[in-house]
Amino acid sequence: GADMMPLGAGAIAGTTFPIDRFMVAEELNFGTVYPNSMDAVSDRDYIIEFLSFASTLMMHMSRLSEEICLWSSTEFGFVELDDAFATGSSMMPQKKNPDISELVRGKTGRVYGHLMAMLTTAKGLPLTYNKDLQEDKEGFFDAIDTVKFTLAVYRDMILTMTVNVDKMAQAVSKDFSNATDLADYLVRKGLPFRQAHEVVGKCVAYAIHQGKFLPEISLEEYKQFSDLFESDLLAALKPEHCVEARKSYGGPAFSENEKQFAIGDKVLAVQQAKLEELQSKL
């Protein structure tokens, strides 16, 4: 819809003069023209579609914002934002607030509102143009500004963010997230998963009672739950092994991540080429 030229449709029914709409469209770099003049003056689908796209994008940015808010908290401490993208608390001097993430999370509702406003404005209109449609612009332009702000600021915020690798490594070493890997270990030894699940449940209960995590239990202790546990068990429980073992396409294995990085680079290159082509036309 956005690449279809409405010029020449007139107020509703075109014109009696011998104009060439296709020539004008070519001069202005439109892909085509609206084939129906009544549709040309009343269609706002392209605005609704953009606002829908913007809402979906902001939804994902809001989810990322929630992660940043959690990860940067004292309780998690996984990341630390650069001072340029955070502020101090008005009351508590020790706080470093992730304001950008909170603002983006809040502005997501603002973009949602523009989409709902446009859908509501258009839902009861008869053909063709109605003055109600002048309401399409304010929300449309504000959504563009909001998305541009979000992407531009988030780019710089992520690039300047410090990742606390040691804190993250400690988090995955001091929990029971490798319990599934313990069950998979038994399955590879030939035990049906249903039984492996039961064995691992007993191992976890034992570890909790001992005040330990799974890698801290000795092989001798494990053997009281199953004779299938062997000397390769403790290596299988290491976080690095748990990650690398998930080599199915799209999984977190290091080799799979490299594939996704390569795909991302190709996508960015294609988009950059399209942007440069558009800029050359303008």
**Over 70: is that where the pLDDT of 71 sits?**
yes
Distance spanning both ends of the chain, measured CA to CA: 19
Q: Which of the pair, 157 or 91, is modelled with greater confidence?
A: 157
pLDDT at res. 98:
94
Q: 54 near 115, Cβ under 8 Å?
A: yes
Q: What is the mean pLDDT of residues 99-104?
A: 95
Among residues 179, 230, 233, 178, the alpha carbon closest in space to that of 201 is found at 179
pLDDT at res. 93:
57
**Over 90: is that where the pLDDT of 5 sits?**
yes
Residue 282 pLDDT grade (very low, low, confident, very high; cuts 50, 70, 90): confident
Q: Please write the tens of the pLDDT for every residue from 37-62.
A: 999 999 999 999 999 999 999 999 99
Q: Please write the tens of the pLDDT for every residue from 201-254.
A: 999 999 999 999 999 999 999 999 999 999 999 899 999 999 999 999 999 999
DSSP string, 153-192: HHHHHHHTPEE-HHHHHHHHHSSSTTHHHHHHHHHHTT--
The pair of structure tokens assigned to 36 is 């129906």
CA 97 – CA 73 distance, rounded (Å): 9
Q: Phi and psi of 97, rounded to 5°?
A: -85, 135
pLDDT at res. 96:
84
Domain residue spans in the chain?
4-42, 45-170, 174-244
In this predicted structure, which of 20-29, 51-60, 85-94, 135-144 has the lowest mean pLDDT? 85-94
pLDDT at res. 87:
77
pLDDT at res. 86:
87
Strands 96-97 and 32-33: unpaired
**Over 90: is that where the pLDDT of 267 sits?**
yes
CATH architecture under which domain 45-170 falls: Up-down Bundle (1.20)
Pick the CATH number of 174-244 from 2.40.50.140, 1.10.40.30, 3.40.640.10, 1.10.600.10: 1.10.40.30
The per-residue pLDDT of the chain, averaged, comes to 94
**Over 70: is that where the pLDDT of 94 sits?**
no
pLDDT at res. 90:
61
